[in-house]
Amino acid sequence: MAKPRHVDKTRGSGAETGALPLAKALDKLRKAYGTGIELRDDRGSLALEGAVATWRDKIDAGWAAARFGYRGVVNDLAVPGLEPERLEPPGIKDCSLDGLAVDVAVIGGGVIGASVARELARWNLSIILIEKEYDVAVHTSGRNDGMIHDGFAAKPGTKKAWYNVRGNRLWGSWARELGVDFKRQGSLVLFRGRTSAAAYPLMASRAKENGVDGWEYWSRSRVRAEEPNASPGQHGGFFLPSAGSLSPYKATVAIAENAAANGVRVSFDTCVLGFDLESESIAAVRTNRGTFRARAVVNAAGNWADAVAGMAGDRFFSLHQRRGSDLILDVTTGVTQKHIMSMPSLFQAREKTKGGGLVLTPEGNILVGPTARELPGREDYATAPEEIRELERHLKVNVRLSLSHVITYFAGVRPCTYEEDFIVEPSQRVRNLVHAAGIQSPGLASAPAIAEDVSAMVVRVLERSMAVRPRADWKPHRLAPPELRRLPLEERARLIAANPRYGRIVCRCEEISEGEVRNALRSTLPVSSLDAVKRRTRAGMGRCHGGFCTPRVMEIVASETGTGLCDVLKKGEGSWMCAGPSKSGGRS
Ligand SMILES: Cc1cc2nc3c(=O)[nH]c(=O)nc-3n(C[C@H](O)[C@H](O)[C@H](O)COP(=O)(O)OP(=O)(O)OC[C@H]3O[C@@H](n4cnc5c(N)ncnc54)[C@H](O)[C@@H]3O)c2cc1C
């Protein structure tokens, strides 16, 4: 498949570039969504202003506007009762970054920002990765299904399709280099009936168009033989062997650790608040920890990427949020199926989601989901009862699964443009800014490929002012920390003999030892919270939800960081685990 090129529609107004004239566009939108709408051609993008009655109208108007042929849609429609969200910086304020000068500042410690930082570290550059939270993968990159999609579902010709297929291929080597547990179980899309099965040639031709690696038709009996627990209602399936899964937060941690080991400075609790612009370039980056200079800036700010673009005067797109919820099933369920499985309905083709299913994780849990709902809230991770009920239908895809296997639920929020495609391109207004924005699903699968391209764009920006050379000492490999429960008995014994802390089990559900917790706290990333430990080791992720291990992990954190138990945090600032001593010598 040919790589999609960015079409430059910024020279002049949208109408000059063949877009629907403003008056006609306005007429169409007003007829559908009310006369409160105003339109403006903002240097090639279509700016929607005024008001509509509901949130749904706002989203629908944005999607309709995206079909008018403008470069992007900036949707500022007001909805009664809903205030525009404001970025809340951390309360921490210091001057630790004042006066710093770096070659590249990467904004956002999700899988995209971390991957870009890792790729850039191949060059002789000084790099800072800036994240407003206390760790990497706190937002969307830690709240997804971990599926390395095959690339079949993305619309042909889109950036999503291209980056997904390339990213899927790259994950093989990335996972090996980074010590990330990545399994290519393959994805089995089951046909719900004869009509769905008849769609196979169309599915195959789409997979071919997207350049997906390998696929097969499986008859009903083949499915029965391969997946004896698959729904008896299946009429065969479409098998895509290149799909797989990994732990998205562990992978993001591994990528960021490798970047840090290669000299990338990682600054947590650091929020970009604005830029100083000079001669159409970013001269300085303003944060809650001071102002510093950067020759090039990467916008990988996830659900806030439109706000960050706006800080640089380059808001040519806007994001809307699509929340997705998932059920996590007990680790014992993994043995009941061999592949990632789903059974979509034909109606789903019209929805802006791949439809969800049963994702088998490398650890053995099954993730059920995700749902897809347009809701306001860039960081709203509430799970609604109706979404959970909606997920129950997926349980029928594997007859051995039931609601009693559910350990917990979670939600994540996809950052979507109204064009429903990724933005991976240098800014056309700011000379030293590169955007990796609107990275909704399959962003995790696409991350290595996006990073490859973004780093090449950054290098081109930098070459205008400096000599950029590959580093001879770049280390692509990261030694994965040992995971006791996955080691054969002899290896466990050897490890414990060398370091008895591996013999002390801290989390009983997941069999995590003190040695593993201490390892997590001694990595190249500066973390010390309970959630950071959980993300790296799984301590607290089992059936008891940390009821047993939390006090033990707190003691280890306190001893590693040299602080008191009352200073240990669950996540970011202010999230103390204890309010204070309850009585003399005790803890509350
Ligand atoms: C429910 C769900 C399931 C999904 N499943 C899959 C899947 O199976 N496979 C797949 O490929 N994709 C999946 N996705 C999509 C995938 O999770 C995203 O595409 C990907 O995580 C986006 O990564 P990111 O780095 O762009 O965003 P994020 O992970 O959100 O990272 C952006 C970071 O920028 C930081 N930030 C924002 N503003 C600032 C600022 N001003 N200063 C400093 N830092 C800032 C934020 O704190 C955040 O940590 C799923 C998404 C959801 C919601």
Condensed to tens digits (0 to 9), the pLDDT of residues 319-328 reads 999 999 999 9
Q: What is the pLDDT of residues 74-87, one digit of tens each?
A: 999 999 999 989 99
Q: For residue 101, give the 3-state DSSP assignment.
A: strand
Residue type for position 564: G
Whether ligand 1 lies within 6 angstroms of the CB of 445 is answered as yes
Q: Measured from the CA of 446, which atom of ligand 1 is nearest?
A: 11
Whether ligand 1 lies within 6 angstroms of the CB of 319 is answered as no
Whether ligand 1 lies within 6 angstroms of the CB of 344 is answered as no
Which residue of the set 149, 339, 405, 435 is catalytic?
Answer: 149
Model confidence band, residue 349 (pLDDT cutoffs 50, 70, 90): low
Model confidence band, residue 8 (pLDDT cutoffs 50, 70, 90): very low
Q: What is the mean pLDDT of the chain?
A: 93
Q: What is the pLDDT of residues 529-588, one digit of tens each?
A: 999 999 999 998 887 888 889 999 999 999 999 988 899 999 988 899 888 877 765 444
**Substitution candidate for ligand 1 out of 97, 141, 433, 531 with most atoms within 8 A of CB:** 141
Total domains, the chain: 2
Q: Measured from the CA of 300, which atom of ligand 1 is nearest?
A: 26
User: What is the mean predicted confidence (pLDDT) over 444-469?
Assistant: 98
Residue where the block lists tokens 């009509």: 195
User: What is the mean predicted confidence (pLDDT) over 364-388?
Assistant: 94
In a domain, 294, yes or no: no
Q: What percent of the chain has pLDDT over 90?
A: 84
In a domain, 61, yes or no: yes
Q: Nearest-CA neighbor of 164 among 101, 209, 220? A: 209
Contact indicator for 319, 307 with CB cutoff of 8 Å: no
Region for residue 70 given its phi and psi (left: phi exceeds 0; alpha: psi -120 to 50; beta: otherwise):
beta
Q: 142 — phi, psi (to 5°)?
A: -105, 5
Rounded CA separation 328/123 (Å): 40
Query: Helix (H) and strand (E) counts for the chain?
Result: 15, 24
In a domain, 537, yes or no: yes
In a domain, 511, yes or no: yes
Can you read off the two tokens belonging to residue 522?
Answer: 């001694």
Rounded CA separation 72/318 (Å): 8
Rounded CA separation 284/355 (Å): 43
Give Cβ neighbours of residue 483 (< 8 Å, ≥ 6 apart).
516
319-329 and 406-417 beta bridge pairing: antiparallel
Rounded CA separation 275/330 (Å): 46
* Residue closest by Cα to atom 9 of ligand 1: 147
Query: Is the confidence at residue 503, as pLDDT, over 50?
Result: yes
Q: Tell me the residue ranges of DSSP E strands in 209-271.
A: 216-218, 237-240, 244-245, 265-267
Q: What is the pLDDT of residues 198-218, one digit of tens each?
A: 999 999 999 999 999 999 999
Contact indicator for 461, 434 with CB cutoff of 8 Å: yes
Contact indicator for 377, 413 with CB cutoff of 8 Å: yes
Give Cβ neighbours of residue 2 (< 8 Å, ≥ 6 apart).
none
pLDDT of amino acid 184:
97
User: What is the mean predicted confidence (pLDDT) over 317-346?
Assistant: 94
Give the end of a domain, one of 57, 75, 93: 75
In a domain, 138, yes or no: no
Residue type for position 205: S
In sign, the C-alpha dihedral spanning 477, 481, 487, 489 is positive
Q: What is the pLDDT of residues 149-184, one digit of tens each?
A: 999 999 999 999 999 999 999 999 999 999 999 999
Query: Is the confidence at residue 7, as pLDDT, over 90?
Result: no
User: What is the mean predicted confidence (pLDDT) over 341-347?
Assistant: 82
* Residue closest by Cα to atom 14 of ligand 1: 441
* Residue closest by Cα to atom 2 of ligand 1: 144
pLDDT of amino acid 118:
98
Whether ligand 1 lies within 6 angstroms of the CB of 154 is answered as no
Can you read off the two tokens belonging to residue 179?
Answer: 């010590």
User: What is the mean predicted confidence (pLDDT) over 235-258?
Assistant: 97
Q: 405 — phi, psi (to 5°)?
A: -85, -10
Rounded CA separation 586/531 (Å): 24
Q: Measured from the CA of 303, which atom of ligand 1 is nearest?
A: 30
Neighbours of 556 (CB within 10 A): 22
Run of H or E including 421: none
Whether ligand 1 lies within 6 angstroms of the CB of 150 is answered as no
Residue where the block lists tokens 């009920």: 389
Give the end of a domain, one of 75, 94, 124: 75
Model confidence band, residue 10 (pLDDT cutoffs 50, 70, 90): very low
In a domain, 463, yes or no: no
In a domain, 423, yes or no: no
Can you read off the two tokens belonging to residue 415?
Answer: 């950052």
pTM above 0.85, yes or no: yes
Rounded CA separation 179/246 (Å): 11
Q: For residue 12, give the 3-state DSSP assignment.
A: coil
Whether ligand 1 lies within 6 angstroms of the CB of 147 is answered as yes
* Residue closest by Cα to atom 18 of ligand 1: 443
- Whether 6 is a known active-site residue: answer no
Q: Nearest-CA neighbor of 457 among 116, 191, 60? A: 116
Whether ligand 1 lies within 6 angstroms of the CB of 387 is answered as no
Whether ligand 1 lies within 6 angstroms of the CB of 444 is answered as yes
What is the extent of the structural domain holding 55?
15-75
For residue 212, give Cα distances in angstroms to 236, 255, 432, 493.
20, 25, 34, 44
In a domain, 53, yes or no: yes
User: Residue 506 maps to which CATH number?
Assistant: 1.10.10.1100
Whether ligand 1 lies within 6 angstroms of the CB of 478 is answered as no
pLDDT of amino acid 16:
58
**Substitution candidate for ligand 1 out of 97, 116, 139, 435 with most atoms within 8 A of CB:** 139
Can you read off the two tokens belonging to residue 530?
Answer: 């309970």
Query: Is the confidence at residue 11, as pLDDT, over 50?
Result: no
Q: Nearest-CA neighbor of 325 among 356, 364, 349? A: 356
pLDDT of amino acid 366:
97
